[in-house]
Amino acid sequence: MASILLVEDEVNVSSFIKKGLEEESHHVEVAYDGAMGLSLACSKEYDLIILDVVLPQMNGTEVSKRYRENCGYTVPVIMLTALGSTEDIVTGLESGSDDYLVKPFVFKELVARINVLLRRKGMGFTAKSYEFAGLVLNTETKTVSRAGKNISLTSKEFRLLELLISSPRRVFSRTSILENVWDANFDYNTNVVEVYMNYLRNKVDKGFPVKLIHTVIGMGYVLKEDDDENTK
């Protein structure tokens, strides 16, 4: 699961890319103008940045240039744009981007380029299979099973379970869950975490004598076998 910043002002395009990358098990945060994109890029830790060129307030080339000047070169940047001339591409690369993809593009190509850059970064995003107490989650096939019984999950439910099973017995706060599974700008007063935890419990724990998903009162949620007075 990579943390990706997408800077794209076209709502339909950003929604399409965000949804697709979330289905690839990545966490995506969206900024809709260059100034906000630069601010987020320099204030938070991301594994990769996807940057449109034509943006309000500050164009993508300037964002990339300032980001590199102020925050270094460790995070790869992919530029997306309808401007596809050789001069445009050279300008984008010279501003500090690592790759340049011209719109319209095939989504699979964007995913492939992201994977290449993440491998270069040393993240090695190979498929993983997690197993805990008979519960199995595979990130490549996007499948979940418990005691050999297949469990059908939505994209959000899958990402939520992946977060929990990646660190069994670790308590995740509501804030941590919102930031890892939903957009970091999500309304922190929402009860969406509680709602999706109930969905997940009904699919993962229903019919099994041993419950795996627990609420730690006043702290958050955890995947574990045992129960105690502080959980329910």
**Are 14 and 104 in the same domain?**
yes
Cβ neighbors of 31 (< 8 A, separation 6 or more) are 5, 6, 7, 37, 39, 40
Q: Compute the distance between CA of residue 62 and CA of residue 35 in angstroms, rounded to an integer.
A: 10
Give the pLDDT of residue 5.
96
Q: How many CB atoms lie within 10 A of CB 40?
A: 18
**Are 57 and 104 in the same domain?**
yes
Assigned domain for 166 exists:
yes
DSSP state of 147: T
| Block residue for tokens 């970091």 | 184
List pLDDT tens digits, range 53-86: 999 999 999 999 899 888 877 788 999 888 766 7
For residue 153, pLDDT over 70 is answered with: yes
Q: Compute the distance between CA of residue 107 and CA of residue 100 in angstroms, rounded to an integer.
A: 14
**Are 63 and 93 in the same domain?**
yes
List pLDDT tens digits, range 155-210: 788 889 999 998 999 999 998 888 778 754 556 677 889 999 999 999 999 999 99
Q: Compute the distance between CA of residue 21 and CA of residue 1 in angstroms, rounded to an integer.
A: 10
List pLDDT tens digits, range 108-123: 899 988 988 888 776 5
Q: Are 219 and 173 in contact (CB under 8 A)?
A: yes
How many residues are given for the chain? Answer: 232
Residue 162 sits in a domain whose CATH number is 1.10.10.10
**Are 80 and 160 in the same domain?**
no
Strand 220-223 vs strand 213-216: parallel, antiparallel, or unpaired? antiparallel
- Write phi, then psi, for 163 (nearest 5 degrees): -60, -45
Containing structural domain, residue 18:
3-120
- Write phi, then psi, for 229 (nearest 5 degrees): -70, -15
For residue 1, pLDDT over 80 is answered with: no
Assigned domain for 232 exists:
no
Cβ neighbors of 86 (< 8 A, separation 6 or more) are none
Q: Is 108 helix (H, G, I), strand (E, B) or coil?
A: helix
Which of 72, 97, 120 delimits the end of a domain? Answer: 120
For residue 152, pLDDT over 50 is answered with: yes
Residue 104 sits in a domain whose CATH number is 3.40.50.2300
Considering its fold, how many domains does the chain have in total?
Answer: 2
Which of 120, 139, 170 delimits the end of a domain? Answer: 120
What's the longest Cα–Cα distance across the chain?
65
- Write phi, then psi, for 215 (nearest 5 degrees): -95, 125
pTM of the model: 0.58
**Are 93 and 170 in the same domain?**
no
Query: What pairs with residue 79 in β-bridges?
Result: 51, 100
Assigned domain for 231 exists:
no
How many helices and strands in the chain, by DSSP H and E?
8, 11
